[in-house]
Structure 1
Amino acid sequence: MQDERSSKRGGPDRQHVSGGKGYEVDELAKKHGISNDQASRLIRQIGDNREKLDEAAEKLKKR
């Protein structure tokens, strides 16, 4: 029988961003109105935690 968790989409992996994938950098940049360079820098500094990245991007945008 298939594990219930494995059949759900958007699970724990969606909580992380991959800095090596351009489309995810682009997605973060567009979502928060920042440049791709700024988004890449945030991913390098903060890591791949989507919640923390969203918070940091919003703070950056307000500057």
Structure 2
Amino acid sequence: MTDDKNKLGYQDRSRVSGDEEYEVGYFASKFGLSIPQVRELIAKHGNDRDTLEREAKALKGR
């Protein structure tokens, strides 16, 4: 699933595309995680941004 840069609506922003390096990198730096950790979160919890942010905060807090 690639990120469609022509899609600028809410639906696109509510997901994190694991196939796009810049999205994974941004998410990793935002929460102080590594790229493999973010990819593992996406594999385990899906690509819903709210869920991933909640799980990233929990992971960082450990």
TM beyond 0.5: yes
More helix by share: 1
In structure 1, the gaps of 5 or more residues are 1-8
Counterpart for residue 37 of structure 1: 36
The whole-number CA distance in structure 2 between the counterparts of 1:10 and 1:54 is 19
User: Match of 2:60, SS?
Assistant: helix
TM-score by length of 2: 0.82
Q: Is 1:27 aligned with 2:19?
A: no
Query: Does residue 48 of structure 2 align to residue 49 of structure 1?
Result: yes
Post-superposition, which runs of at least 4 consecutive aligned residues in structure 1 deviate over 6 A?
none
Shift of residue 10 of structure 1?
4.2
Q: TM-score, normalised by structure 1?
A: 0.81
CA distance in 1 between partners of 2:59 and 2:9 (Å):
27
Return the offset for 1:13: 1.1
Following TM superposition, by how much is the alpha carbon of 1:11 offset from its aligned partner in structure 2, in angstroms? Answer: 1.4
In structure 2, stretches of 5+ residues that fail to align are: 1-7
Let me know the Cα RMSD of the aligned residues.
1.0
Match of 1:29, SS? helix
